[in-house]
Amino acid sequence: MEQNLQKLFKASLYQPEGRLSGDVWVAIESKSAQITKWKTFGYLGLSVLSLSGSIFSIKSLIEQAIRLGFFDYLSLTFSDSGSLATYWKEYTLSLADSLPVASFVLSFFLLFILFISIRNTSQQFKSKLLIA
Amino acid sequence: MNKSDEDIIKEYIGGDENSFKSLVDKYTSSIYNYSVRFVGVDYAKDIVQDVFIKAWKNIKKFDNDKASFKTWLFTIASNTITDYLRKKKMVQFSSFDKEEESFESSIPDEVILPDEALIKLEDKELLNNTLDKIPANYREVLVLYYQEEMTFNEIGKLLNKPLNTVKSHHHRALIMLREILS
């Protein structure tokens, strides 16, 4: 009975349109192109945002570093190496103290986001070219 | 030598974008015929497209240790069809689900569906019309077992139902076939 029923089911199969699998593949490719397009726009937007954020945060980092005397301490490295060797502990602490940590972390973070978004944007462009 | 589905998936995940197309070519007809049994010829094409797009989107989640690609793909098809039927309010489920334990397992299948009934089913249109009258949850067991030649175990995995429930649905589906034919 089992084999007979199998035969009956097989005999009553419908034949899909010849190009159905082709149509399915076209639908997948078009979905893929759509996803790539949205991802490209997303990463491009993120690149622009992180670039403008980086510019502001680096500008603020430099201003704060000047105000806290970070560059003055840094210039000592090149001008008075004798004293540095003697008071290196104090020097290191002063240098670290004059560093605007929050701005530094923010700038670093934004630059990292910028790098990732540029890399992903270029990947999306590459896959777009492959699809085309 | 023919590549296995799992090898093709590995190639696709490895970056060969076109390898997925061979899976589409291989399973389009099966998924189409499975869908036709539930939604009819007019909507089966849309279901097939949905199923493959879902499979393509989720291919990285496919786990060969849990089920074969065919079982996984038919699970997607079954869920897509159920969603579609629910939206269209076309779904007809049997009320026997709560009385699984009391099914007539002692009656052999051959007795339920004798040769005379099978002869009637040789009429393609009659078979399709008869299947249409069987509730969807019983019909899917029949279609997967006889049309796709899956085992009860595979069907259980696919439908996320215990083995006994699958066997019970199969048994009841045969009883219904007989009743409709008589």
Q: What's the complex ipTM?
A: 0.76
- Partners of residue A4 in chain B, C-beta under 8 Å: 115, 118
Q: Assess B20–A contact: CB distance below 8 Å, yes or no.
A: yes
Nearest CA to A9 among B142, B150, B167, B85? B142
| Structural domain containing residue B152 | 106-181
Domain containing B173 — which CATH number?
1.10.10.10
| B81 and B13 together in one domain | yes
Is the distance from CB of B179 to CB of B130 less than 8 angstroms? Answer: no
Classify A97 in phi/psi space as left (phi over 0), alpha (psi -120 to 50) or beta.
alpha
| B62 and B123 together in one domain | no
- Considering A13-17, A110-114, B17-21, B83-87, the range whose residues carry the highest mean pLDDT is A110-114
* DSSP-H helix ranges across chain B: 5-13, 19-39, 41-58, 69-87, 109-112, 115-120, 124-132, 136-142, 152-159, 163-181
Instruction: Kindly report whether the global pTM for this prediction surpasses the value 0.80.
Output: no
Q: How far apart are CA B37 and CA B136, in angstroms?
A: 9
Domain containing B80 — which CATH number?
1.10.1740.10
Q: Assess B110–A contact: CB distance below 8 Å, yes or no.
A: yes
pLDDT of residue B94: 53
What is the number of structural domains in chain B? 2
Q: Which of A20-24, A94-98, A127-131, B67-71 has the least mean pLDDT?
A: A127-131
CB atoms under 10 Å from CB of B129, counted, come to 11
- Has residue B180 got a pLDDT over 60? yes
Nearest CA to A69 among A105, A108, A90, A96? A96
- Has residue B99 got a pLDDT over 50? no
Q: Which of A100-114, B64-78, B120-134 has the least mean pLDDT?
A: B120-134
pLDDT of residue B98: 47
CB atoms under 10 Å from CB of B116, counted, come to 10
> Contacts for A122-129 with beta carbons within 8 Å, 24 or more apart?
A124/A36, A124/A39, A124/A40, A124/A43, A125/A40, A127/A36, A128/A33, A128/A36, A128/A37, A128/A40
- Has residue B96 got a pLDDT over 50? no
Pick B49's closest partner by Cβ from A2, A8, A27. Answer: A27
- Partners of residue A9 in chain B, C-beta under 8 Å: 127, 143, 146-147
Summarize pLDDT for A72-93 with one digit per residue, the tens.
887 877 777 677 777 788 878 8
Pick B128's closest partner by Cβ from A6, A12, A130. Answer: A12
- Has residue A43 got a pLDDT over 70? yes
Tokens of B121: 């089913």
Instruction: Indicate whether B97 belongs to any domain.
Output: no
- Considering B9-18, B126-135, B165-174, the range whose residues carry the highest mean pLDDT is B165-174
Q: Assess B58–A contact: CB distance below 8 Å, yes or no.
A: no
> Among residues of chain A, what percentage have pLDDT more than 70?
93
Instruction: Indicate whether B9 belongs to any domain.
Output: yes
| B121 and B148 together in one domain | yes
pLDDT class for B141, splitting at 50, 70, 90? very high
8 Å CB contact of A9 and B127: yes
Tokens of A19: 């190009």
Pick A25's closest partner by Cβ from B24, B44, B143. Answer: B24
Instruction: Indicate whether B158 belongs to any domain.
Output: yes
Q: State CA A54 to chain mean position distance.
A: 14
Q: What is the mean pLDDT of chain B?
A: 84
8 Å CB contact of A8 and B127: yes
What integer is the mean pLDDT of B10-38? 90
Is the distance from CB of B69 to CB of B9 less than 8 angstroms? Answer: yes
Pick B146's closest partner by Cβ from A9, A27, A130. Answer: A9
Q: How far apart are CA B1 and CA B69, in angstroms?
A: 19
A57: Cβ–Cβ under 8 A, 6 or more apart, which residues?
A: A103, A106, A107, A110
Q: Assess B118–A contact: CB distance below 8 Å, yes or no.
A: yes
Q: Which has more confidence, A91 or A31?
A: A31
8 Å CB contact of B28 and A24: yes
